[in-house]
Amino acid sequence: MREILWARMTAPELRAAAGQDTLVILPVASLEQHGPHLATGTDTYLGEAVAARTAEKLMAAGKPVVVLPVVWHGLAEHHMQFGGTITLDQPVFLAVLRSIARSVFRHGFTRLMLLNAHGGNTEAIGVAVTEIGNEHPCCQVAGGTYWLVAPEVFEGILEDQPGLMHACEAETAMMMHVTQGTVRMERLAEAFGPHAHRPAAQPRALYFRRSFFDMTPTGVVGDARRASPEKGAAALEALGVRLAEILGEPALWGSAAGAKLTPP
């Protein structure tokens, strides 16, 4: 299989890829607390893994794709009370994404996917898509949080929750599969919390600023105790298949798919 990781490719190889309507995937993540049992790099590890698996599926289907190194710093102020967390403020975060996009498009690529792996980045990714798209009207930019873009993939895999939450059955299972030594198995019995990010009285469209510590003293939303490497492998495979189906659909990209546009 052809190389898909930007950082492992040469400049001539990337120049050639830019002329082949290659999709560029930028994983965006965070470095933050993930309960008593998971490493702070969980979102970064999983963002890399989901992006790579998606790219492998796209490439196998004959659709050229390149994956950039993950942006490991995100918006994680709500986790700071636990320690172990690094956060940017929103203007800096958006500036980082805009600068990366400018570089990508200057090299001749015309399609960019911001593949988010951290819930705290979700709204800002939407803003970034709009800002980058306005700045580069001759290119196409998309963005989304992987478990929100393809929530159906967890059906039949997880036992105690309907989808991915935080430091939960899903994230723990995928970390068991993707990494070695990052899951503290001796702390797994403590790794559970409420099954919601917000109080029952708070509608989804109503925003509050709350520390994650106020929602879950363990730092976990969901229940990690039934996680297994087998569930993690199944979830990662299903995510790769489904995201590749979505991102590989030409109609998603409109006129940017298959042809470069010139400014008016």
User: What does the pLDDT look like over 148-181, one tens digit per residue?
Assistant: 999 999 999 999 899 999 999 999 999 999 999 9
Amino acid present at 247: L
* pLDDT attached to residue 156: 94
pLDDT band with cut points at 50, 70 and 90 for residue 209: confident
How does pLDDT run across 22-47, given as a tens digit for each residue?
999 999 999 999 999 999 999 999 99
Token couple for 84: 């172990």
Range of the domain at 237: 6-198+210-246
Can you say how many angstroms the Cα of residue 62 is from the centroid of all Cα atoms in its chain?
A: 23
Does residue 204 belong to any structural domain of this protein? Answer: no
pLDDT at 262: 46
DSSP type of residue 196: -
Within-domain flag for 263: no
Rounded to whole angstroms, the Cα distance separating 54 from 43 reads 16
- Mean pLDDT for 211-231 is 95
- The answer as to whether 253 is a domain residue is no
Q: Which residue has the tokens 């520390």?
A: 211
Per residue in 63-122, pLDDT (tens digit) is: 999 999 999 999 999 999 999 999 999 999 999 999 999 999 999 999 999 999 999 999
Domain annotation covers residue 264? no
The H or E element containing residue 116 is strand 111-116
pLDDT in tens, 173-203: 999 999 999 999 999 999 999 988 777 777 8
- 255 lies in some domain: no
pTM of the model: 0.93
Quote the pLDDT of residue 264: 42
pLDDT tens profile 109-137 = 999 999 999 999 999 999 999 999 999 99
SS3 66: strand
Number of domains observed in the structure of the chain: 1
- pLDDT, position 263: 47
For residue 88, what is the domain's CATH number? Answer: 3.40.50.10310
Q: Within a domain: residue 262?
A: no
Phi and psi at residue 229, to the nearest 5°: -60, -35
- Domain membership of residue 139 (yes or no) is yes
Q: What is the pLDDT of residue 257?
A: 44
Residue 71 lies in a domain: yes
